[in-house]
Amino acid sequence: MRRERIAAMSTEETTSLRNAEGIRKFTNLMDPRLDQLVVYSSVLEHLLQQKHHYEQERDMELLRLERFRCEGAKANRILVQMQVVKKVQGMLPNIVFKLRNEYDKFERFLHREKGLQSINLSLYDKGLQLLSICKKNLEQTL
């Protein structure tokens, strides 16, 4: 009878240890800081894409304006194209402002939450890579 109790206890202990490991893994996956990391990364990626898009759009519209001038288009058409260029250029400062703010927030978050490295190293490394890409992009903007 005593052996049965000992065997039952050891089985219970191993089961609880397994559950504890599962709970630790589950809490790591459910850590809200990981959600924040994903959200910050997604926002930065989106802003980088927007910035890239509007830079391409600006360059394309500037080329179109130059083409109109070279072809001797009517003054009204050139004026309209100049307005288009101004609108596209007007979008960039706002996006750059947002990108700088989000970059600063994300950088502070990663430096404050060093423990994320032990929870999910790949997401943390991707975040650091994204920060370096943003930094280079913002330096080119200046």
Name the domain count of the chain: 2
Q: What is the pLDDT of residue 25?
A: 53
Q: What is the pLDDT of residue 28?
A: 57
Q: Is the confidence at residue 49, as pLDDT, over 90?
A: yes
Secondary structure letter of residue 114 according to DSSP: T
Q: Taking Cα atoms as reference points, which of 120, 110, 121 lies closest to residue 25?
A: 120
**10 and 43 belong to one structural domain:** no
What's the rounded mean pLDDT across residues 99-123? 90
**113 and 126 belong to one structural domain:** yes
**Enclosing domain of residue 13:** 1-30
**14 and 80 belong to one structural domain:** no
Q: Is the confidence at residue 35, as pLDDT, over 80?
A: yes
Tell me: the pLDDT tens digits for 74-87?
Answer: 999 999 999 999 99
At 111, which helix (H) or strand (E)? helix 75-112
Contact 104, 139 (CB under 8 A): no
Q: Which residues contact 45 (CB under 8 A, 6 or more apart)?
A: 130
**45 and 23 belong to one structural domain:** no
Q: Taking Cα atoms as reference points, which of 51, 29, 50, 49 lies closest to residue 123?
A: 29
Q: What is the pLDDT of residue 96?
A: 94
